[in-house]
Amino acid sequence: MAFLESCGGMAIGLLGAGLAAVLAGIGSAKGTGIAGEAGTGLLSEDPSKFGKVMILQVIPGTQGLYGLVVWFFAMLQMGVLDGSAMDLTVTEGIRYFVACLPMALGGLFSAMAQGRVAAGSINILAKKPDDWSKGMILCITVEFYAILSLLASFLMLINAR
């Protein structure tokens, strides 16, 4: 406990908020990269499918946005953005840290999984262009869990103090 006391509650809370933004962003970068690699293969053969490929590639990027929303809300709740920041107790800092974890971890893993699904959906687009919307539905299924992570972090942040 002495280590946590030496860090301070605000530092612990800021670490949680930072992890929500960074880990969800890393997941989105990885997921959009996976889908983009699959998309470049298709586009080298058929550039007319760029619009549909771009939509499938962008979908895993939403988790990074959700992570940034959680970061922003946590910073507001801790008073960092409006200048009303006060010393948080270690317990309060841990509450903020834990409240940010669902989005941090949910965003990281769901974005990478969604990138793989989007890459598979690009394969559907290549072989059966009329069925590409089925691939989008599969991507949206993964998105649901990212939204649940966002909701969990948001609800926990509301009651963190």
Domains of the chain are: 20-158 (1.20.120.610)
Rounded Cα distance, 56 and 122, in Å = 7
Mean pLDDT across 19-39: 98
Rounded Cα distance, 39 and 41, in Å = 5
On the question of pLDDT at 144 being above 80, the answer is: yes
Q: What is the DSSP letter of 159?
A: T
pLDDT in tens, 45-75: 999 999 999 999 999 999 999 999 999 999 9
On the question of pLDDT at 2 being above 80, the answer is: no
pLDDT score for 84: 82
On the question of pLDDT at 8 being above 90, the answer is: no
Checking phi first, is residue 142 left (phi over 0); if not, alpha (psi -120 to 50) or beta?
Answer: alpha
Contact 90, 5 (CB under 8 A): yes
Name the pTM for this structure. 0.91
Of the candidates 52, 38, 26, 59, which has an alpha carbon nearest to the alpha carbon of residue 139?
59
